[in-house]
Amino acid sequence: MNDNASAGQPISEAEALERLEQRDDPSQRYYAAWWLGRMRCQNPKAISLLIDALGSVLGQPASQDDLMVARNAARALGKLQSPAAMASLLQALEHSDHDLREAAARSLGESGDTKALPALLSTLNRSSIEPSAATQARLDQPCEALLEAIGCLAKGSQDPSICQALQRFCEHPRPMVQSAACRALVLVSGDGQWAEGMLNLLNDPEPLIRRGAVLDLGASGWRDAAEAIAGCAAESNIKLLALRQLLEQPLQGPAPSALGEQERHLLTLMDGLL
């Protein structure tokens, strides 16, 4: 193993594959799985090793070290968008480890494969929205990740059954789950009425909730939220990121090549934050 790589220096694809393939040092495997996803490595061996790392904890007892590697492998497979990973990610969605389920849900959302929707909806529907969830250290299901994934995969479908499944989470006791549900509903239905829940959270006294609502509004693509985003009491870099999403990924479709009035207004708001 390259000593410089072990000391945190940049590594090559070959070194990352070597690290993931060995079984003696879990920390090296953990870093290698992250690196392969971060670099969007499309080497077939990388995808095979990542699927193996994830599969090693499915259907059998696993150590915490193996779970840590599997979580990063799941995250990486989402970035690589490999159809070969679908079966393992769907199986991971049923795992007892909450963090692995969350990583699998986000990766399924990133995959772009709508065949994952039934499993995501089924997992979401098993989640409780009892008032006690507001004070629980951890929810029974990774609701935010599930809602975001469903919103991504069902965007523009206007499927009434999906919208119905999402709506009950607008009443969830946790504000960020509410926000994620509203974001998903805007994406799926194309109806800006669902943005109201996110807009209300821009005035929450808790900075983390305001930041989350800003980012959800940006991810929803609902351009009517631009002024509210720019005026929210949140860091400029967070607001700039959200406005950039509205500019580059509007709900109504890709921005035209020639700048229109909406695009110019968004750029003016962004300039004001610089």
Pair 188, 151: CB distance under 8 Å: yes
Q: CA-to-CA distance for 105 and 98, rounded, in angstroms?
A: 11
pLDDT tens digits in sequence order for the chain, 274 residues long: 444 444 456 799 999 999 999 999 999 999 999 999 999 999 999 999 999 999 999 999 999 999 999 999 999 999 999 999 999 999 999 999 999 999 999 999 999 999 999 999 999 999 988 877 778 878 999 999 999 999 999 999 999 999 999 999 999 999 999 999 999 999 999 999 999 999 999 999 999 999 999 999 999 999 999 999 999 999 999 999 999 999 999 987 655 555 688 899 999 999 999 8
Cα gap 79→91, rounded to integer Å: 18
d(CA 67, CA 56): 9
Whole-model pTM: value is 0.91
CB-CB contact of 159 with 120 (8 Å): no
Residue 145 makes CB contacts below 8 A (sequence gap 6+) with 101, 102, 103, 105, 106, 109
